[in-house]
Structure 1
Amino acid sequence: MINVSTFRCVLCLFVFILRVQSSLAQQATEVGDSTASQRVLVLLDGFQNSPAARYGTVALSVRRVRDGEPIIGYNSRQTLSTASTLKLVSTATALAVLGPTFSYTTVLAYDGTIRDSILTGNLYLRGSGDPSLGTWRYTGLPDTPQLLAIWSDAVRRAGIRRVQGRVVGDASVYSSLPTPDTWPYGDLGNYYGAGLSGLNINENLYRVFFKPGSSVTAPATVLRTDPPLPYLALHNTVTTDAPNTGDQVNIYGAPFGNGQWLTGKVPLNSREFSVKGSLPDPAYFAAYALTEQLQRDSICVDGQPLTYGPGNPTPANPPKRTVLYTHRSPALTELAQQTNFQSINIYAEALMRTAAGRLSPTARTNDEAIEAIETYWRTKGVDLAGFRMRDGSGLSTVGGLSADNMTGILARMTQEKQFPAFYETIPVVGQSGTVRSLARNTPAAGNVRAKSGSIEGVRAYAGYFTAANGELMAFSLMVNRFTPGQNRSVSAQIERLMAAMVGLK
Structure 2
Amino acid sequence: MVQQLNQLIENDPDLKGAIAGISIRSAVSGKIIYDHQGDIRLRPASNMKLLTAAAALNVLGEKYTFTTEVLTDAQVKKNTLKGNLFLKGKGDPTLIKADFDKMALEIKELGIKRIKGNLVGDDSHYDDVRYSLDQPWSDETTYYGAQISALTASPTTDYDSGSVKVKVRPGIKIGDKVHVKVTPKSNYVKIVNNAVTVKEDGKKEITIEREHAKNTITIEGTFPVNAKAVNEWIGVWDPTRYAITLFKQSLANQGIALSGKITTGTVPDTAKVLTSHQSMPLSELLVPFMKLSNNVHAEILIKEMGKVMKGEGSWEKGLDILETETAKFGVNTKTMVIRDGSGISHVNLIPANQLTLLLFAVQKEKWFPVYLSSLPVAGVQNKMVGGSLRNRMKNSSTVGKVKAKTGTISTVSTLSGYVSPRSGQTLIFSIMLNNMLDESTGKKIEDRLVTILANQ
Q: Could you say whether these structures have the same fold, taking a TM-score greater than 0.5 normalized by the shorter chain as the test?
A: yes
User: Does structure 1 residue 60 correspond to structure 2 residue 10?
Assistant: no
Is 1:450 aligned to residue 404 of structure 2? yes
1:159 matches 2:119: no
Deviation at 1:417, TM superposition (A): 1.6
1-structure distance, mates of 2:182, 2:338: 35
1:185 and 2:134 are equivalent in the alignment: no
From 298, 306, 322, give the equivalent of 2:272. 322
| TM-score of the superposed pair, with normalisation by structure 1 | 0.79
What is the identity percentage for the equivalent residue pairs of Structure 1 and Structure 2?
A: 26
Residue number among 30, 35, 41 corresponding to 2:6 in the alignment: 41
Deviation by residue 1:166-195 (Cα, 9 ceiling, x = unmatched): 111211111131221311111111222112
Per the TM alignment, residue 361 of structure 1 is displaced from its structure 2 partner at its CA by: 1.7
Are 2:171 and 2:179, in contact at CA under 8 Å, matched by a contact in 1? no
CA distance in 2 between counterparts of 1:247 and 1:460 reads 30
Q: 1:197 is matched by which residue type in structure 2?
A: S
> How do 1:160-239 residues align onto structure 2 when only pairs under 5 Å count?
160-202=112-154, 203-210=161-168, 223=180, 225-233=182-190
- The alpha-carbon distance between structure 1 residues 274 and 381, as it changes in their structure 2 partners (threshold 3 A), is closer
Aligned mates of 1:55, 1:459 — CA distance in 2: 15
The match for 2:294 is: 344
Give 2:53's match in structure 1, choosing from 91, 94, 108.
91
Could you tell me how far apart the structure 1 residues matched to 2:393 and 2:228 are? 36
Following the alignment from structure 2 to structure 1, what is the Cα–Cα distance between the partners of residues 285 and 121? Answer: 23
Which digits, 9 at most, give the CA deviation of each residue in 1:281-305, with x for residues without a partner?
2221222222233234332211111
The question of whether the paired residues in 1 share the 8 Å contact of 2:43 and 2:434 is answered with: yes
- In the alignment, is the contact (CA less than 8 A) between 1:235 and 1:259 conserved in 2? no
Moved more, 70-79 or 226-235: 226-235
Q: Which residue of the partner structure matches residue 326 of structure 2?
A: 377
Q: Which residue matches 2:237?
A: 280
Query: What is the CA distance between 1:364 and its match in structure 2?
Result: 3.1
Deviation at residue 374 of structure 1 after TM alignment: 0.9
Is the 1:79–1:387 Cα contact (8 Å) retained in structure 2?
yes
CA distance in 2, matches of 1:289, 1:154: 16
The gaps in structure 1 that reach 5 residues or longer are 1-35, 135-143, 309-313
Deviation per residue, 1:84-131 (Å, 9 max, x gap): 222222112212222212111112222211112111122122111011
CA contact (8 A) 1:367 1:390 kept: no
Query: 1:243–1:267: 8 Å Cα contact kept in structure 2?
Result: no
The match for 2:224 is 268
Partner amino acid, structure 2, of 1:40: L
Question: Aligned-pair distance for 1:260?
Answer: 4.2
Alpha-carbon distance in 1 for matches of 2:228, 2:326: 51
Q: Report 1:311-460 matches (<5 A).
A: 314=266, 318-358=268-308, 360-431=309-380, 432-460=386-414
1:236–1:475 distance in 2 versus 1, CA, 3 Å: same
Shift of 1:407: 1.4
Inter-partner Cα distance in structure 2 for 1:182 and 1:219: 42
Q: Are the aligned partners of 1:220 and 1:266 in contact in 2 as well (CA < 8 Å)?
A: no
Q: Secondary structure at the match of 1:199?
A: coil
TM-score by length of 2: 0.87
Say whether the 8 Å CA contact 2:94–2:153 is kept in structure 1: yes
Q: Distance in 2 between matches of 1:191 and 1:128?
A: 20
Given the superposition, is the C-alpha separation of residues 165 and 379 from structure 1 closer, same or farther in structure 2, using an over 3 Å criterion?
Answer: same
Aligned counterparts, 1:122-141, within 5 A? 122-134=84-96
> Contact (CA 8 Å) 1:387, 1:401: kept in 2 or not?
yes
* Residues 1:476 and 1:357: Cα distance change in structure 2 (over 3 Å): farther
1:179–1:196 contact (8 Å) kept in structure 2: yes
Tell me the CA shift for residue 356 of structure 1. Answer: 3.9
Q: CA deviation at 1:396?
A: 2.0
Tell me if structure 2 keeps the 8 A contact 1:132–1:201: yes
Q: Are residues 1:294 and 2:243 paired?
A: no
Equivalent position of 1:9 in the other structure:
none
2:451 pairs with 1:495: no
Question: 2:207: which partner in 1?
Answer: 249
Which amino acid is the alignment partner of residue 258 of structure 1? K
Q: Is this contact kept in 2: 1:234–1:262, CA < 8 A? A: yes
Deviations 1:350-376 (A, max 9, x none): 223323433x32443213311220122
State how far apart, in whole Å, the 2-side matches of 1:193 and 1:253 are: 14
- Aligned mates of 1:367, 1:491 — CA distance in 2: 32
- Evaluate the alpha carbon distance shift between residue 413 and residue 169 of structure 1 in structure 2; reply closer, same or farther with a 3 A threshold: same
One-letter identity of the residue aligned with 2:3: Q
Unaligned runs of 5+ in 2: 155-160, 381-385
Shift of residue 470 of structure 1?
4.1
Q: Secondary structure at the match of 2:436?
A: coil
Distance in 2 between residues matched to 1:475 and 1:154, nearest whole Å: 49
**Residue 140 of structure 1 corresponds to which residue in structure 2?**
none
Which letter does structure 2 place at the counterpart of 1:110?
T
Provide the C-alpha distance between the structure 2 equivalents of 1:200 and 1:247, rounded to a whole number of angstroms.
Answer: 31
Equivalent residues of 1:78, 1:386 under 8 A apart: no
SS of structure 1 residue aligned to 2:15? coil
Q: Equivalent residue for 2:383?
A: none
8 A contact 2:306–2:314 mirrored in 1: no
Partner of 1:69: 31
Deviates further, 335-344 or 458-467: 458-467
Other-structure match for 1:479: 433
Give distance in 1, aligned partners of 2:47 and 2:340. 12
Which one of the candidate residues 297, 304, 321 is aligned to 2:261?
304
